[in-house]
Structure 1
Amino acid sequence: MEEAKFDANFLTGQAEIWQLMFAFTGSMALKCAVQLRIADIINSYGKPITLSQIASHIIDSPSAEISYLERIMRRLVHKKIFTAHHSSEEGDTLYGLNETSKWLLWDTKPNLVALILVENNPWMLAPWQHLSHCVKDGGHPFEKAHGCDLWNFASKNPELNKLFNDGMGCMVKIFMGAVLPAYKDGFGSIGSLVDVGGGTGGDMYEIVKSYPHIRAINFDLPHVIDTAPNYPGVSHIGGDMFVSIPNADAIFMKSVLHDWSNELCVKILKNCRKAIPEKTGKVIIVDVVFEQDNKDAFEETRIIMDLVMLAHTTGGKERTEIEWKRILEEAGFPRYKIIRIPAIPSIIEAYPI
């Protein structure tokens, strides 16, 4: 049988398009694994197990479709989410955990379970269908999909509000685990601190646990604060950062400014400047800083996150250092310092004088 000859670049290009076209199958299989708690089932055995063993422990499923499970696991094993090897004794394939699948464990902190569930929720996926419309006509994908922005939609939808807050909350220990060691000298001299857009207060609680002398205020929209738990040493205040911000020695903002346009970032930062002392105050921003030469493990994730901002926010984006400098200067922060951390974002420390 004569083998057809094709140019290698032709085949490679075709294969890459096929893979990208169906890349969503990876995230859907990942969501499925989280919903079925497959990683937790395997972890409960303490060793690799068979499909039958996994299926027998799926909650509310007396007759799980093992053939479906096998095909989903094939995709996840190929993406190196789980391990698989053939058992010579029983003849079955045994599925195990690795360093990647451990991030799918519901009962182990930190994990990315809640973020996977919210980002792959139909409400959050719908805006992605409108990217080309927005390129041609302007506007914002989330508003085209749902008729309002994410924040208004969440305020009227308790289910999405909880999903979103849980998703943001699961990143607390991940990001703060990198922020606190890198910024250990920066928090020590602060007497009072406001976390602007602090969600349900998890970030502020992590700071207070390490620096109990700080008078800590968690500040966010009223419908977010209404769901916030009580944290020792943290006060919750509801309000609107576009109107005013509680006074403090310093302001902390993590993954907030990337949600907004340059103009609105300037407005937020000007309110921050009013809330801190002229000579000794500072704003601590934890957000992505794009760098051309930053080839670390999160390089592609930062690019992806910029598209997430395009799909889900009203003018938000990830920014280069030059773009941050322009925003900070316009808002009245002529000096800043960038601190790189082993995480997706960096720390930007900005000063009013």
Structure 2
Amino acid sequence: MEPNGKPTQLQMEPNGKPTQSQETSAQSQVWKIIYGFSEPLILRCAVELQIPDIIHDNGGQITLSELASKLPLPKVNTDHLYRVLRFLVHMKIFNQEGDRDCVSYSLTPAGRLLTSGSETSMVPILLGMTQKDFLVPWHYMKDGLSGETTAFEEGMGMTIWEYLERNPEKSQMFNEGMAGETRLLTRSLIAGCRDMFEGIGSLVDVGGGNGTALRAISQAFPQIKCTVFDLPHVIEDSVECPGVERVSGDMFKAVPRAQAIMMKLILHDWSDEDCIKILKKCKEAVPQDGGKVIIVDVVLDVNSEHELTTPRMVLDIDMLVNTGGKERTEEDWNHLILSAGYKGYKIRHIAAVQSVIEAFPY
């Protein structure tokens, strides 16, 4: 800082080239990007070995030797394990106490999100997003820039939806990942939008997967008649739940009638043209008196300094690679909703990556 408190201006060499300090900083930035792929895979290794669960079940703290003895492996090299844990401490997943000869580990708040079984667990999301086949399309991103196909189609030879239908085990992992994301999102949705659900007599969750969101909504608002609507193979694999009806079908053809329609993490999968078609089908399914469509998706603001802006922007590239869809700005949402013949909308921001858009057809 300068004596007057203003930030020090960056200095350049007389020839206009960056200083050594600037060059080092730039190299650091690029190295971090180059090895950016490593962090989720190191994290996946820890989760597959159940390390967060082992620490949690051990009273919240464990030594290196104790951890090595509890891992589901026939043999553990403690030096290798120490080095993996050292990096996870650097990632702020674990806390470390003591030195190399007498070291112990505990969970940080982020680490606690990687224990299994809790409503806030992000384990299914991590495992779903980092499975090998889902990493392949990212290597074909440049081939998807033509707009004629997606990177997923270029890499896998089929659309993501065809892939999931043909690979039940991968589809189950994908759905479990979506269910994990839904559990986190639904907590914020219910807490932040209770008034939005009050007065609703019936609700259809279009593309509702295994019904994770509707089970929570049904418990919180037992007066609502809840219906989960999805493709036949998804409904067939879902589990029956008291208070939630299951209906199979195609949202491009028709949507079950209800006072309110909800679409959570659906429209970002599709092109503008397809979104307008879906919105029109939803409009046909709600009554003119009081009917509404609840859209739960990202509202992108690239200029925002909010801590969730980067995840929102990465999700946009995720859609580009895998589905051909996109995350949308408020201007984009305005265009879609009005183009589908709706009268207006209201955006609610909640404690999640996504926001809630109440769209009013009539």
TM-score normalised to structure 2 length: 0.92
The alpha-carbon deviation at position 6 of structure 1 amounts to 5.9
In the alignment, does 2:80 pair up with 1:68?
yes
- Sequence identity, in percent? 38
Q: 1:317 aligns with which of 326, 330, 336?
A: 326
TM-score normalised to structure 1 length: 0.94
Q: Go from structure 1 to structure 2 and tell me whether the alpha carbon gap of 1:136 and 1:347 turns closer, same or farther (over 3 Å shift).
A: closer
In the aligned structure 1, how far is the partner of 2:311 from the partner of 2:144? 23
What SS is found at the alignment partner of 1:218? strand
Amino acid at match of 2:360: Y
What's 2:43 paired with? 30
What's 1:304 paired with? 314
In the alignment, does 2:66 pair up with 1:53?
yes
What's 1:344 paired with? 353
What SS is found at the alignment partner of 1:160? helix
What's 2:272 paired with? 262
Amino acid at match of 2:96: A
Show the 5 A alignment for 1:279-298.
Answer: 279-298=289-308
What's 1:120 paired with? 130
In the aligned structure 1, how far is the partner of 2:209 from the partner of 2:44? 24
The alpha-carbon deviation at position 62 of structure 1 amounts to 2.5
Contact 1:127–1:145 (8 Å) recurs in 2: yes
The alpha-carbon deviation at position 135 of structure 1 amounts to 2.4
Contact 2:296–2:355 (8 Å) recurs in 1: yes
Contact 1:221–1:238 (8 Å) recurs in 2: yes
What's 2:29 paired with? 16
In the alignment, does 2:156 pair up with 1:143?
no
Contact 2:144–2:321 (8 Å) recurs in 1: no
The alpha-carbon deviation at position 48 of structure 1 amounts to 2.4
In the alignment, does 2:98 pair up with 1:86?
yes
Identify which range, 289-298 or 258-267, moves more after superposition.
Answer: 289-298
Amino acid at match of 1:348: I
Q: Deviations over 1:273-314 (max 9, x none)?
A: 01111232100011000124532221111011111111111x
Instruction: Show structure 2 runs of 5+ residues with no match.
Output: 1-17
The RMSD of aligned alpha carbons is: 1.5
Instruction: Show structure 1 runs of 5+ residues with no match.
Output: none
The alpha-carbon deviation at position 107 of structure 1 amounts to 2.9
What's 2:12 paired with? none
Contact 1:279–1:352 (8 Å) recurs in 2: no
Amino acid at match of 2:335: R
Contact 1:34–1:104 (8 Å) recurs in 2: yes
What SS is found at the alignment partner of 2:109? coil
Q: Deviations over 1:168-220 (max 9, x none)?
A: 11122211111112211111111111000000001011111011111111001
What's 1:44 paired with? 57
In the aligned structure 2, how far is the partner of 1:9 from the partner of 1:16? 11
Runs of 4+ aligned structure 1 residues displaced above 6 Å come to none
